Amino acid sequence: MTNNIIKPSTLPGFMELLPAEQILFNKMLDTIRDNYEKFGFLPIDTPVIERAEVLLAKGGGETEKQIYKFEKGDTDLALRFDLTVPLARYVAQHFSELTFPFRRYHIGKVYRGEKAQRGRFREFYQCDIDIIGNGKLDIVNDAEIPSVIYSTFKDLGFDSFTIKINNRKVLKGFFEHLGILNSTEILRTIDKLEKIGLNKVEEELKEQGLEQDKINKIIQFIQISGSNEEKLDSLKKLKIENDIFNEGLEELIAVNHHVKVFGVPEENYMIDLTIARGLDYYTGTVYETFLDEYTNIGSICSGGRYDNLAEYYTKQKLPGVGISIGLTRLFYQLNEANLIKTEDNSLTKVLIIPMKGYLDQGIKIASDLREKDINTQIYLETEKMGKKFGYADKLGIPYTLIIGEEEIKQGRYSLRDMETGKQEMLSIEELLLVLKDS
């Protein structure tokens, strides 16, 4: 056939991994899922394509620009750009069939037509949990979320990370108390403190036309330091007479107390009054999570409390709290930081290599091992011995098992540890023990 060859390539902004990396990526997905299930979250899976009208119900902003939209027949369709909007639609649609508080996890791909640049992805996995109340939702839920984050990142193999917690009501009330009613811009500035430093923050606040005494109070406020308890004490001592502030402070105190009860070690969480998540729809508790040694990666898990999940789809009031892990970006960044190790990562435990004339015996042993749930591959091609061992080597398969005349006669099989090169003659039972353990 004389075909035109089309260059095989993926689009920029779409991650595609080789199998050894994919195995690691999947292990991370599994760990996240196991943890979400350990905390009693239920799985859902929504369509990637929805009516554009549904996904853009809230409308406006970056979303509208970035969303993948297209027509099919006479319907405007779009690809989901997060898992929160589909959750809102799901809960509104299936309201009467769900049990509240509704705890759901959702792991899936989302799409954003961002400007292509290194480390930015147009297709990426989000791993979300949310707890949705019907009408109300106890503040203790806000304290359980950090324990999910803690358990998950521990299991992912991270030791030094910090979950930063704040409450938007504390910020909102504080600004109201200063006579500032629209604090969006200020919050956005404060949010950048870590990045741009105190002086730049002060400068920006001046540019926004704030009086110096208010700026001083804001600077003083975001510099409140010490242990979590000391920070809470300092906030109390401000004696601010503002209902929203005091409601937020009470919530923050409750969350701080219960996070500890949920077993999150002191070194893994802290109250940080500069965490604002300015652009989001959060109304109470907010979270961000940082790797202590790689803060430049930015927050690896964020979220918060919101008053009303699904106002665009239902009149039911549905407060909730949740977080999201953007695994594609995290994986990319861990890889950039050389923290992804693809060695010793084979899912297959053993490669069976039958000698000439012993194929059937090899197949039988492969079937036996598989029946015992041992991931087994059998080499079926006609090749030289060296090539067969090389195959196991390249794939990182830890063991090879040779089946030939001697082996069948003795009922013992020579298992070779591909790392050490050590070879042993083992009975099937001994074989199973070694392979089950490894």
Q: Which of residues 136-175 bind a second copy (CB under 8 A)?
A: 136-138, 140-141, 144, 147, 151
Distances (CA, A) of 62 to 2, 22, 84, 115: 46, 31, 16, 12
Say how many residues touch a second copy, by CB under 8 A. Answer: 103
8 Å CB contact between 61 and 67: no
Site map (CB under 8 A) of a second copy, residues 314-333, x = contact: xx------------------
Q: How far apart are CA 158 and CA 268, in angstroms?
A: 11
The H helix count followed by the E strand count for the chain is 16, 16
Cβ at position 18, least distance to a second copy in Å:
6
Q: How far apart are CA 158 and CA 361, in angstroms?
A: 45
Site for a second copy contains 9 (CB under 8 A): yes
Q: How many other CB atoms are found less than 10 A from the CB of residue 356?
A: 8
Distances (CA, A) of 210 to 203, 213, 216, 223, 274: 10, 8, 10, 18, 18
Site for a second copy contains 243 (CB under 8 A): no
Residue nearer to a second copy on the CB measure, 99 or 182: 99
Q: How many other CB atoms are found less than 10 A from the CB of residue 23?
A: 15
Candidate ranges 165-173, 185-193, 195-203, 310-318; the one touching a second copy (CB under 8 A)? 310-318
Site for a second copy contains 238 (CB under 8 A): no
Residue nearer to a second copy on the CB measure, 220 or 438: 438
Site for a second copy contains 416 (CB under 8 A): no
Residue nearer to a second copy on the CB measure, 207 or 405: 405
Diameter over CA atoms, the chain: 92
Residue nearer to a second copy on the CB measure, 147 or 274: 147
Site for a second copy contains 429 (CB under 8 A): no
Cβ at position 347, least distance to a second copy in Å:
5
Cβ at position 390, least distance to a second copy in Å:
9
| Helices marked H in 156-284 | 168-177, 184-191, 193-207, 212-222, 228-237, 243-261
Please report, in angstroms and rounded to a whole number, the separation of the first and last CA atoms in the chain. Answer: 48
Residue nearer to a second copy on the CB measure, 277 or 349: 349
Candidate ranges 191-199, 207-215, 261-269, 424-432; the one touching a second copy (CB under 8 A)? 261-269
Q: How far apart are CA 310 and CA 58, in angstroms?
A: 10
Q: Which of residues 106-125 bind a second copy (CB under 8 A)?
A: 109, 111, 113, 122-123
| Adjacent-strand bridge partners of 210 | none
**Which H/E stretch holds residue 128?**
strand 123-132
Site for a second copy contains 359 (CB under 8 A): yes
**Binder among 10, 199, 338, 420 for a second copy (CB under 8 A):** 10
* 332, 333, 339, 342: CA torsion to nearest 10: 0
Site map (CB under 8 A) of a second copy, residues 381-400, x = contact: xx--------x--xx-----
Cβ at position 188, least distance to a second copy in Å:
23
Site for a second copy contains 339 (CB under 8 A): no
Q: Which of residues 70-109 bind a second copy (CB under 8 A)?
A: 70-72, 75, 77, 88-90, 92-94, 97-99, 101, 103-104, 109
